[in-house]
Amino acid sequence: MVNILIDKEVCIGCGLCVHDCPMKVYELKDGVSTVINPEDCMACLSCHEICPSNAIEHRDIYLSRRLYVDLEVCSMLRRFI
Ligand code: SF4
Ligand code: SF4
């Protein structure tokens, strides 16, 4: 399972990761982002790109899962990205 770490010292509680994550992995609690569903993460890494504080770290991402997601997306679009 993907291990997601939030640096609560640098998170500014903007909520962008909460709204951007397609799998509803985050929730704001006490003004900082908190991981509530790590098992649902599909490793798209959108949260990394959107976080203005660089507060999010993912560990143990398996490339095979990422490839599986990409293949699914390609299949839906009926073309290779
Ligand atoms: S990598 Fe994607 S699915 Fe995982 S927590 Fe970030 S936005 Fe959500
Ligand atoms: S996007 Fe970054 S700074 Fe904003 S709530 Fe999420 S972890 Fe915190």
Q: Which domains does the chain have, with CATH numbers?
A: 3-77 (3.30.70.20)
- Supply the pTM of this predicted model: 0.79
CB of 6 closer than 6 A to ligand 2? yes
Distance CA 57, CA 2 (A): 10
| Torsion 63-64-67-72 (CA) sign | negative
- Mutate which of 33, 45, 48 to test ligand 2's pocket (most atoms within 8 Å of Cβ)? 33
- Mutate which of 5, 10, 14, 28 to test ligand 2's pocket (most atoms within 8 Å of Cβ)? 14
Distance CA 35, CA 68 (A): 23
What pLDDT was estimated at residue 81?
Answer: 47
5 has a pLDDT exceeding 50: yes
Give residue-wise pLDDT tens across range 25-47: 999 999 999 999 998 998 889 99
Rounded to whole angstroms, the maximal C-alpha distance in the chain is 43
